[in-house]
Amino acid sequence: MKIAFYGSSLVSAYWNGAATYYRGLLRALAAKGYDITFYEPDVYDRQKNRDIEPPHWCKVVVYEGTVDALQRAAKEAAAADIVIKASGVGFEDDLLLDRVMAAARPSALKVFWDVDAPATLAELRTDPALPLHRALKGIDVVLTYGGGDPVIRAYRGMGAAECIPVYNGLDPETHHPVSPDRRFEADLGFLGNRLPDREARVEQFFLEPAKRLEKQTFLFGGSGWQDKPMPPNINYIGHVPTRDHNAFNVTPKAVLNISRSSMAENGFSPATRVFEAAGAGACIITDYWEGIELFLKPDEEILVVRDGQDLVDVLSGLTHERAREIGRRALARVLNEHTYEHRAAEADEIFRSRLHRTEAAE
């Protein structure tokens, strides 16, 4: 079956947190026999900052960031059995959704894939004129990469026929244990781009604890933080390319996951980063969010903190031996239950059952 997937970028992780999710899931779907074309706009300098070339398992079509180019790319949806428009493409998202769904054949499965459900739902609640409200009536299924029951209920309440989470996962070919790298030595590492609904939590869970733990070293990776005041025991290294993520994860004693405010409030939203770090065998410390135990067991496979004081206490008492054991357990758990092969099996069942349903109705 042919899939036309319209997303932010497959070939560049630059200002594009969904890249790992797209790559792992689509590669696993391709292994199941799907013929996938990924359409992405040339915006935000992503093409200048590619970290992979177009893969053999997916055709990549890069179109200019113009309305004319968008409309030409959207018309190609007519050739697909499954048409997917992701959230957060980054250029004329509303227009793209309209054109893609209009071009899809009546028999095609029409999917809206939300890679940031809390943010999308917040927009839907505050703006009744948002075109997605109307589009939901013609979409067969909404898929999300997080959110659990709160997101399912919200989307159903806004008119979606179905909403099903397909969570983040691990791609073991990309994220796996490697040897430590001296560039990333630290007691605690954090990797995350600067975003409005994350900044206050980064201050609470990372910058403030670093000030209080003067004798410990902190490693800070991610774009946009260069003008942020930091204590001297933080080593800020800016953007970390995907090829270095494994070393970044395994070298510090522990790595920190900080959810964006909307994700933490909603719960059931494990970041891609959690599975990346677990896949490398890292000891993960995460801020609390509801549903963590569905993915990793607190205190045994992941350490959970509720505020900056918790972080100070946990890091002060964490030995290298315990950190290594937590990392080993996390790796075993994600390999057993949370790879993109597991997620692709779920998506495959969703696609096939609903396509058969459509064929039966016709």
What is the pLDDT confidence band of residue 17, given thresholds at 50, 70 and 90? Answer: confident
User: According to the model, what pLDDT value does residue 158 have?
Assistant: 94
Half-sphere exposure of 33 (CA within 13 A, CB side): 5
With tokens 């002060």, the residue in question is 316
Cα–Cα dist 238/230, whole Å = 13
Q: Is the pLDDT confidence value at 263 over 90?
A: no
Band of the pLDDT at 360, cuts 50, 70, 90?
low
Residue 361: the pLDDT is: 57
DSSP conformation class of 175: S
Of residues 19, 1, 9, 2, the one with CA closest to residue 40: 9
CA distances from 120 to 62, 126, 208 (A): 24, 10, 30
pLDDT in tens, 77-123: 999 999 999 999 999 999 999 999 999 999 999 999 999 998 899 89
As beta bridge partners, residue 60 has 38
Q: Which residue is listed with tokens 């980063």?
A: 273
For residue 83, the one-letter residue type is V
Going by pLDDT thresholds of 50, 70 and 90, the confidence category of residue 271 is: confident
Write out pLDDT tens, residues 165-178.
Answer: 999 999 999 999 99
125 in Cβ contact with 104 (< 8 Å):
no
Q: What pLDDT sits at residue 65?
A: 97
Whole-number pLDDT of residue 19 = 93
Give 362's pLDDT tier (boundaries 50, 70, 90): low
Q: Does the predicted model carry a pTM greater than 0.85?
A: yes
For residue 200, the model assigns a pLDDT of 95
233, two tokens: 């025991």
Q: What would the pLDDT profile of 280-321 be if each residue is shown by its tens digit?
A: 999 999 999 999 999 999 999 999 999 999 999 999 999 999
pLDDT score at 152: 95
Return the pLDDT at 358: 60
